[in-house]
Structures are given as structure tokens and as C-alpha cells.
Amino acid sequence: MFDYLRRLATTGAAYTASSVLSKLIQVFLLPVYTAYLTPADYGAAEVMIASLVAASIVVRLGVIEAILRFYYLAGEDPNRVVRTGFASLFWTTTLAALVALPFAGPISEALLDERDAGLARLGILGLWQLTLWEYALTLLRLDERAKAYFGFTVAAVIVTIPVTVALVVATDMGASAILLGNFGTGVAFLVGRLWVERRRLGFTVDPALLRRMVRFGLPTMPAELTLYSLNFIDRILIVRLVGLAEAGLYALAVKFANGMQVLVRGFHLAWPPLAYSIQDDDEARRAYALIVTWVVAVIAFAVVGLWLAAPWLVRLLATGEFFEAHEAVGPLAAGTALYGLYLVLVIVLGRTGRTEFSFPATLVAVAVNVGLNLLLVPEYGIVGAGVALMASYVVVVGVMYALVERLFHVPYEWRRLALAVGAAAALIAVGELFVPHDGLDGLALTALVCAAYPLLLFAAGFLSRAERERLRELLRPAAVMERMRAARAGEGPPTEETEAPHGPALTAEAIEQATRDTDRGGA
């Protein structure tokens, strides 16, 4: 079971690292954008990109989600799944782009309240690139080629940023400069990536397989769209209920809470391939239970840190008039952490093939979010909105658990889960009630409260006997020195020629061994 945790941690760390780098670069670019773009230009780019994400969810028809399941499904040919998935996404995305191009002007009017056909055409290019880009990255996730994933995404970011900055600074294209810089360079990298994978791809569809894949994946589309709507429903309501100033504070709080999103995204990318690769149901149940325990423990620790550190982070990176934004960071971070648990349950549900159950759960969550925003925002402002989002994810996790448990029972380690959540809640309460939000003393006390989390878990007996033994083994001086020697020796740069592990016929142990071999020379 520890090998599953190791695989999840290894691949998740690579995915998280690439997301962290991307987010950091975005932060550093803000001074450039604000210096050379008007607020209207920047707003238009943000609206267009947000719209493209929603449109991509629609045109995918749940096929990417289906690929992640069918690739490991007994009786399915993994190569045929890859080819059919690519062909269906290529043709649907291309068709959608060709249909949308003549309506670029009306589309821009509908989204931006102004006619900018050129910007809309770039957005249509972005829809094509964004959808197939997600597919290309999915192939790397399927094979657990974490090093290749990191290298590819980082290389794309390194090239995209100077091109985008040059367009923003040297031209007066406005919002179009951001879209052209991002999607133009993205197309070049996408074509290169697909060329590397060309032996696995094709433009013909297996109709019978595609029908099964769409039947599995299509019900996930409304659920994705519904949850995605949570990203902007609250902002609309805040503007209507308490004004633009509060909306600005809330937007800043969301930016800081995105630190939790980076961690959750790493898990989101690593989790499905691992979960679906376990063929035996009983083994899967045990592995899922253990992984959930440690995922909750890690993200709870992150919530404690982000919640209590928020006053200092906001004070450090924003002007004084924005300081109140820190009050919403904690609840928003907790909501994002709960989204991570929702992702666990979605994959467990996917194992049963009953993906249609996810939409009712997300629909209830949106209804709760709207209701609580209407109730709380007029009285508590952005804190009320943060609490509403957190409560919405509590609801969606609760409903999903009730539905999934009937279909696929997992023996979750409730005592250890309660310890992790209880320790986090207790430390947050201590920090909020007794630790000052300014001064060096307050900062030192905040650090101590955060550091107390793992100590509190250890003292409460969170670790199992096997985990304590494993920890002692890892901390042995000889073991530490061996890992250091291995790190210094290196494993060589990954190459694309080595065949990656795939296919339902592989056992969990074989997949693990193949993954190690891939990381040495085939990633």
C-alpha cells in the first residue's frame, strides 16, 4: 500500500511543481499587464479565457474523463482508446471552431458587450488549442510520465511568457496580445507534442468504443460546468449585493486562496491514473481508504498554514486598502481543499460507471451556494461569500459520499480522518482567537501554531504501526545516505523512445515497476 502513496506523491509533486511555476510567473507578470494594458483590456482577456474553459468542457463531451477510465478497463485495447479519443476530440473541436468562426463578431458582443471579432477569432483558436492540449497532457498522465509532463509544461511556459510580454509591450493589440501569445505558442508546442505521440494517434474513430466512452463521459460534462460556475456566481452576487469594492477584495482573496488550488490540482492530475490502474476491487478499496486519509491530512495542514498566514501574505503583497481581503482567504482555501475530496469521490464513482450521479450533487451545491450568498453576503460581506463556498463543497462532498457509498463501499479510516480534521480546526480556532495578526510576535506565534499540526497528529496516535516503522526506516542514517547517493548519481534524462507502460493487463506491481523504468529512461 505504501507504494501507491509513493506513486501518488511522486507524480503529484511533479504536477504541483509545474502548476506552482506557472502561477508564480503569472503573479510576476501582473506589473507588466497593469502597466501596458487598460483595465478593460485585461478584463476582456480574463472573460474570454474563462469562457474558453467552459466551452472546452462542452466540446470535450466527457471524452478525456472516459479515456482515463477506459485506458485501464479490462477487456479494452489501450491503444484503440487513445486513437479513438484523439480522433473524436480533434474532429469535434475542429468542427466547433469552423462553425464558430463566422460568428466571431456576435460572440464577442455576447461575452464582452462590444464587437471585437479579432479577439473572438483568437479565442476560437484558443478553444482548439486548449482542448487538444488537455488531451496531450492526459497521455503523459496515463503513462505516469511525471518528468516528461513537468519538462513539457515548463518549456511551454518559458517560451510563452517572453512572447506574450513582447506582444503586450511592443504592440497596441490589447487583450489580443495576451491570447495570441498564449495560444499561438501553445499551438506550436501542441503540434510538437502530438508529433512525438504520432504512432499512438489517428484520425479514425471506433464507433462502438466511442459510444461507450461518450455514454460514460457525457454525464460528467454538466457536473463540471456546474462546479465551474461556482467560480463566478459568488462574484456576480457580491457586486449586486454589496458593490464593486467588496468584489475587488474578494477577487484578491481568491488569488491568495489559489495557493491551495495548486496543491489540489497536482492531486487531481495524479489521482485518476493511479486509481483506475488498480484492477482488483478489494485492493482498490484498501488503497483508496489509505490515500484519502493521507490526502486529508496533507491538505488540512495546508489549510491551516494558508488560513493563519493570510494576514501577513496580504499585507506583504497588497496595499493597505486591500488588507480586509485576508478574512476570506481561509474559508476559500478550505472550500478548495474540500473540492479535492470531491475529486476522490468522482473517481470512485467512475469506477462503477455510474457517472450520471455527479450532476445532482453539484446542482445541489450550486443551489446552496446561491442561497447562502444571498443570506450571508449582505451581513458579512466577503467572509459570508467564502463561508458560502466552503459550505457548498461540504454539501457536494456529503451528497457524493452518500451516492457513491451505495455503489462502491470504501472502508475509510474515520478515526484518523477525524484526528486530521479536528487538529486542523482546533489550530485554526487557536490562531484566530489568541494569535495577533501583526507584529513579529504574532508572526512567530502563527508559525508555531502551524508547526504544531504534525506534532499534534503524532501525539494523538495518527500514524499506524506500519507507518511508524516505515518512517523509522526512512529516517535511518544509512537509508538517508543511500537516497543522497542515488540523487547525486542521477537517473539520466528521460527519452521519448522508451515505450511507456499501459494497458489493463498489467498488475499494480507491474505498473509500478514499469513506472520506475520509465522514470529512469523512458519518460
Q: Is 481 exposed, middle or buried (0-12, 13-18, 19+ CB in 10 A)?
A: exposed
Q: Name every residue whose Cβ is closer than 8 Å to that of residue 139 and which is 6 or more positions away in sequence.
A: 82, 197, 200
Q: Name every residue whose Cβ is closer than 8 Å to that of residue 498 and which is 6 or more positions away in sequence.
A: 517, 518, 521, 522, 523
Of 125, 155, 139, 269, whose CA–CA distance to 196 is shortest?
139
Q: What is the 3-state secondary structure (H, E, C) of 71-97?
A: CCCCCCCHHHHHHHHHHHHHHHHHHHH
Residue at 474 is within a domain: yes
Classify 256 as helix, strand or coil.
helix
Residue at 515 is within a domain: no
- Is the pLDDT score of 329 beyond 60? yes
Q: In this structure, what C-alpha cell is assigned to residue 173?
A: 493589440
Between 200-204, 415-419, 467-471, 509-513, the lowest mean confidence (pLDDT) is in 509-513
Count of structural domains, the chain: 1
Side-chain-side CA neighbours of 5 within 13 Å: the count stands at 15
Higher confidence at residue 86 or residue 477?
86
386-392 mean pLDDT: 94
Q: Write down the pLDDT at residue 500.
A: 36
254, 306 Cβ separation under 8 angstroms:
no
How far is the C-alpha of 314 from the C-alpha of 300, rounded, in Å?
A: 21
**Percent of the chain predicted with pLDDT > 90:** 37
Q: Name every residue whose Cβ is closer than 8 Å to that of residue 239 and which is 6 or more positions away in sequence.
A: 247
Residue at 487 is within a domain: yes
pLDDT band at 503 (very low <50, low <70, confident <90, very high): very low
Residue at 112 is within a domain: no
- Is the pLDDT score of 508 beyond 60? no
Q: In this structure, what C-alpha cell is assigned to residue 49?
A: 479565457
Q: Write down the pLDDT at residue 1.
A: 67
Residue at 480 is within a domain: yes
Between 36-40, 194-198, 246-250, the lowest mean confidence (pLDDT) is in 36-40
pLDDT band at 472 (very low <50, low <70, confident <90, very high): confident
How far is the C-alpha of 200 from the C-alpha of 67, rounded, in Å?
A: 14
Q: Name every residue whose Cβ is closer than 8 Å to that of residue 149 and which is 6 or more positions away in sequence.
A: 14, 15, 18, 137, 140, 141, 269
Residue at 481 is within a domain: yes
- Is the pLDDT score of 393 beyond 90? yes
How far is the C-alpha of 210 from the C-alpha of 63, rounded, in Å?
A: 8
Q: What is the 3-state secondary structure (H, E, C) of 384-429?
A: HHHHHHHHHHHHHHHHHHHHHHHHCCCCCCHHHHHHHHHHHHHHHH
Residue ranges making up the domain that contains 479: 463-492
Considering just the CA atoms, what is the radius of gyration of the chain in Å? 23
Q: In this structure, what C-alpha cell is assigned to residue 355?
A: 457517472
* pTM for the structure as a whole: 0.78
Across the chain, mean pLDDT equals 84
Q: Is 393 exposed, middle or buried (0-12, 13-18, 19+ CB in 10 A)?
A: buried
Of 320, 308, 321, 179, whose CA–CA distance to 256 is shortest?
308
Between 8-22, 259-273, 392-406, the lowest mean confidence (pLDDT) is in 8-22
Higher confidence at residue 468 or residue 414?
414
How far is the C-alpha of 328 from the C-alpha of 307, rounded, in Å?
A: 9
**Percent of the chain predicted with pLDDT > 70:** 89
